[in-house]
Amino acid sequence: GDPHVPEPLLVQAGADLVDEIRRHPTALGRRVQPDPGQVVAERVGDPQGLLGLVLEGIHRHDPRDVRAEGAGLTIESRLPGDLPEVVGDHDRLVQILLNLVDNAVKYTPAGGKVSVVAQPAADELVQVEVTDTGVGIPPSDLPRITERFYRVDKARSRELGGNGLGLAIVKHLVIAHGGRLSIDSLTGRGTTAGL
Ligand code: ADP
């Protein structure tokens, strides 16, 4: 294993975080875990703002309809204004979204489209999907895709500058927030990561 990946720590922190949210649903304005290496519960607030921030951070344009000119991609987002407030770790949520959008951009050839869609779900949750029209992931690779260091096409992935850790970390961070990560894909058609 890789000593730099605090996998058990995150799972542990996740259980604590979910517990903390259950025990103090109204008192989460403060950070409950001071250790910066752990996931913290805080009132992140408006998820539209958070998602907008992520998209803006990547492209420094209007987050609602961004042309990723360099990559020849269109990135669009649908972020309704009536999303419930999100409780979680702001920086880790940004990390999750950045990783997913980064993958979508990396594995989508010029002329393709990446979209980020958020919508309210049951129980005051927010469902977020990052969809691309890229190369997709073969069905035989899909079950293992969130394993650490797992990559479909090692040569190409290396060229694109990843390390096979992105989705493993995303999955653990999503679980740490009491959520679930789904990856659906069709080879040659594209991929949707949902949380
Ligand atoms: P990497 O750093 O290699 O991108 P990830 O854990 O983020 O590592 O992804 C693992 C592998 O999953 C990638 O190497 C790539 O083969 C595949 N993959 C991830 N996201 C996508 C996507 N949106 N479209 C196609 N393949 C993807």
**Å from CA of 163 to ligand 1 middle:** 9
| Residue 124 near residue 149, CB atoms below 8 Å | no
pLDDT at 188 over 60: yes
List, for residues 7-38, the tens digit of each pLDDT value. 333 333 334 444 443 444 333 333 333 344 55
pTM exceeds 0.85, yes or no: no
**Å from CA of 22 to ligand 1 middle:** 33
Distance of CA 140 to the CA centre of its chain: 23
- Pocket probe for ligand 1: among 96, 167, 183, the residue whose CB has the most ligand atoms within 8 Å is 167
Best CA proximity match to 97, nearest among 138, 53, 141: 53
Q: Ligand 1: residues whose CB is within 6 Å?
A: 103-104, 107, 132, 134-137, 145, 150-153, 157, 162-168, 191
